[in-house]
Amino acid sequence: MAILFDEKKKVFTLQTKNTTWQMQVGRYGHLLHLYYGRRVGEGVLDYLVRGINRGFSGAPYEAGEDRGYSLDTYPQEYSAYGVGDYRISCLSVEHGDGSRAAELLFDSYQIEKGKYSLAGLPAAWDEGGEAETLRVVLKDKASLVEAVLLYGVFEEHDVITRACIIRNKGEGIWLERALSACLDLQRHDLEMITFYGRHTMERSLERGMCRHGKITAESMRGTSSHQENPFVILCEKGAGEDWGECYGMSLVYSGSFLAEAEVDQINQTRFVMGIHPEGFRWRLEKGERFFAPEVIFSFTSDGYGALSKNFHRFYQEHLIRSKYRNTRRPILLNHWEAMEFHIQEEELVSLAVSAKELGVELFVMDDGWFKGRDHDRRGLGDWTPDTKKLPKGVTGLSEKIHGMGMLFGIWIEPEMINEDSDLYRAHPDWCLKAPGRMPNRERGQLVLDMSSREVQDYLFENIGGILKEAAVDYVKWDMNRNLSDVWSFSCPAIRQGEAGHRYVLGLYELMERFVRAFPEILFEGCSGGGGRFDAGILYYMPQIWCSDNTDAVERISIQYGTSFGYPVSSMGAHVSVSPNLQTGRSMPLETRAIVAMAGAFGYELDVRKTGQEERKRIKEQIQWYKQYQELILYGDYYRLTPVEANREFAAWQVVSRDKKTAVVSAVCLHARSNPLFWRVRLKGLKEDTWYRVRQERLTDCSGKDKEQEQKEGQDENPAKREELLCLGSGLMYGGVNLPVFWRDYESVLYVIEEADKRGGGLPGER
Ligand code: GLA
């Protein structure tokens, strides 16, 4: 039993393998938070909660002279506005009489086997019977408003999910805020780690002490955004990869969000997460319910390396649903960086032929294929193929690609519309725009009102028709701007505060229709790269294009930041041309590949323009990746260097679940004259096992380019090929020497395999 209830003390205890969450019905009926952290068994920690009479922090009416019992200082499970808790609230209700208050008191509970689900929203699932659900019903003291707090306990994964349903059994109310969860920790020694960014530079790590007042990570852009991410960490001061208490919180939602931590007057920290209240106002009529999206919590006392591992495994086993969730992904070539909008069927076919020769398995036609789409100001919304470019439509091209024995994929951007499109001319009201105002344009496009069933049907029929007819195997679902002028033609004036969230619900409904209708398709999310990289999208699509920035050095930092909350298997990563189109930086092919191999791997360049030697190396890369793909995508991922602090080199590692094989990658970011020796300590191996350490031929750390090496007749540097035999403990505590890097962006790739597996024998046996 992962969920226990002590009737006498009215205490709920949620247990996972290594963590405990505890709460208690307080003496006046409020649900108080007692503890979340390292597993403490079943002992009740109610003694931790204390109160004294503090000035300017009142007590509930019934408390009478028990003045120390204040909602302003007592830790709570779900905070509400208006009744004496002046800290951040999760819930703010406006009643029919204009009063704004909710005092939530314990009413009842239910413990169930399995995991709850949330109507219309993505949420973690459980098929294997690991999860248990706790529902706690809280009722407002003076109205018929109820908050149903949901807890999903995944014992083995050290994960507790939370969500909340607001029910209204009385006259209509307005929800001014309806966040998902609150975590009241009676401590203030915490840092908050967030992931900020911008287009082409997503998820840069930033950390800072929580302090009196609030710190916030948020998006008000209608999407989870490039600028902040709905995954945050609260950790013990100074915590690192392998040390320190860490709480991770991930909102399973793709719209505007708020993640906020507040240190109060007595040094306690409250953390809340949910839909951003700015612009939000939701009408709840009698009998209606509002579902606040899920937050996935995990705690570990072993640093954020272990925390990431919890999230990675959990997403793979309990969030992502695609048939590609835990299987091989086809290695793709996407046409975008090679041709952008300037496509013609024969050009695409010749690109695909060239890619096929290299071992590429899936050819993706990106933007530019539909009517009028010669640039970014035209065509979005008209999902009919441009026959000037594709004489026999998408189907004609698809047949040719399939005929070559390759899979075939296309790019779509369903949520958008250009004013220069037949769709806009027919339905100018279908986009978000406020009456009497010209809408903000971004990339020359406007946003369709996804809350409208009519719009959803149009998109499903038109795009779905093509996917079906052309037997498409892969879809890149893009979204190239943020929401503004959020006014929906399908909402009455008084309910326009619902439009932002209804957009997200409509989007989810449409995605659900697509993934159900096309279960064989590999869907990849995208929003100008990683502008909507969140757990909500991963429920529908197993991978997301990580960034429009394909420069390998920049990608190292983007993928590093992303890896804190999301698994390697979720990050689309491609080898592109050198010099790079975004930064102009030149980079060896090997290094571009090594970086892209830390993700769902592919190519995005005109491979027809590559020389013989490069083609040979690309072939080798593809073969190599195919061999190690499952290990890389589904093994345990370790960050070996802190990218934000180590500007000299970056290293990372993946270890198979059985700890028999590992791959270590390192890239020199800043070569030095008279170079220093660099070494990395490995992780996740078995201490007493012998491993062979092999430097892969794919790597490039000779200080010379390959052509030069060949001219000199020394294709192989003997030192490069040397195999080491080491104990796991030596590799983890002593480390592995990186080769001496003589040039910027040289890189190395090691494969580490349990020694007896490879027939080499152990040292004593040779
Ligand atoms: C976005 C995507 C790119 C590409 C273009 C096409 O920017 O992130 O990968 O698909 O759109 O317009």
Encode burial over 699-717: b for 16+ CB neighbours within 10 A, e otherwise: bbbbbbebeebeeeeeeee
pLDDT in tens, 264-287: 999 999 999 999 999 999 999 999
C-alpha 411 to ligand 1 mean position (Å): 9
C-alpha 18 to ligand 1 mean position (Å): 42
- Closest residue by Cα to atom 8, ligand 1, is 528
Q: Return the H-helix or E-strand segment holding 571.
A: strand 571-576
The answer to whether the CB of 231 is under 6 A from ligand 1 is no
Q: Is the torsion defined by CA of 134, 135, 141, 146 positive or negative?
A: positive
C-alpha 88 to ligand 1 mean position (Å): 38
C-alpha 36 to ligand 1 mean position (Å): 42
- pLDDT, mean of residues 301-318: 98
pLDDT bucket at 762, cuts 50 / 70 / 90: very low
pLDDT surpassing 80 at residue 492: yes
pLDDT in tens, 362-379: 999 999 999 999 999 999
The answer to whether the CB of 478 is under 6 A from ligand 1 is yes
The answer to whether the CB of 528 is under 6 A from ligand 1 is yes
Q: Which of 526, 532, 547, 551 to mutate to test the pocket of ligand 1 (most atoms within 8 A of CB)?
A: 526
- pLDDT, mean of residues 608-625: 97
Catalytic residue among 374, 376, 614, 709: 614
pLDDT in tens, 65-79: 999 999 999 999 999
Q: Residue 578's closest CA among 550, 602, 558?
A: 550
Residues above pLDDT 90, as percent of the chain: 94
Separation between Cα atoms, residue 166 and residue 219, nearest integer Å: 23
* Predicted TM-score (pTM) of this structure: 0.96
The answer to whether the CB of 366 is under 6 A from ligand 1 is yes
Confidence (pLDDT) at 216: 98
Q: What is the DSSP letter of 302?
A: B
Active site residue 614: yes
pLDDT bucket at 701, cuts 50 / 70 / 90: low
Separation between Cα atoms, residue 617 and residue 606, nearest integer Å: 15
For the chain, give the mean pLDDT. 95
The answer to whether the CB of 530 is under 6 A from ligand 1 is no
Q: Which of 199, 411, 443 to mutate to test the pocket of ligand 1 (most atoms within 8 A of CB)?
A: 411
- Closest residue by Cα to atom 6, ligand 1, is 367
pLDDT bucket at 335, cuts 50 / 70 / 90: very high
C-alpha 379 to ligand 1 mean position (Å): 15
Confidence (pLDDT) at 41: 83
The answer to whether the CB of 413 is under 6 A from ligand 1 is no
pLDDT surpassing 50 at residue 718: no
C-alpha 691 to ligand 1 mean position (Å): 43
- Strand order, beta sheet including 131-140: 104-113, 131-140, 145-154, 159-168, 289-300, 246-251, 231-236, 190-198, 201-209
C-alpha 477 to ligand 1 mean position (Å): 10
Q: Give the contacts of 63 (CB within 8 A, at least 6 positions apart).
A: 28, 69
What is the C-alpha radius of gyration for the chain, rounded to an integer number of angstroms? 27
pLDDT bucket at 717, cuts 50 / 70 / 90: very low
Q: Give the contacts of 740 (CB within 8 A, at least 6 positions apart).
A: 675, 677, 701
Q: Which of 333, 336, 374 to mutate to test the pocket of ligand 1 (most atoms within 8 A of CB)?
A: 336
What's phi and psi for 489, nearest 5 deg?
A: -70, -15
pLDDT surpassing 60 at residue 311: yes
pLDDT surpassing 50 at residue 290: yes
The answer to whether the CB of 745 is under 6 A from ligand 1 is no
Atom of ligand 1 nearest to the CA of 366: 10
pLDDT surpassing 60 at residue 713: no
Catalytic residue among 367, 534, 548, 746: 534
Residue pair 245/61 in contact by the 8 Å Cβ criterion: no
Q: What does the H/E/C string look like for 621-640?
A: HHHHHHHHHHHHHHCEEEEC
Q: Which two tokens stand for residue 362?
A: 């899936």
pLDDT in tens, 559-589: 999 999 999 999 999 999 999 999 999 999 9
pLDDT surpassing 90 at residue 745: yes
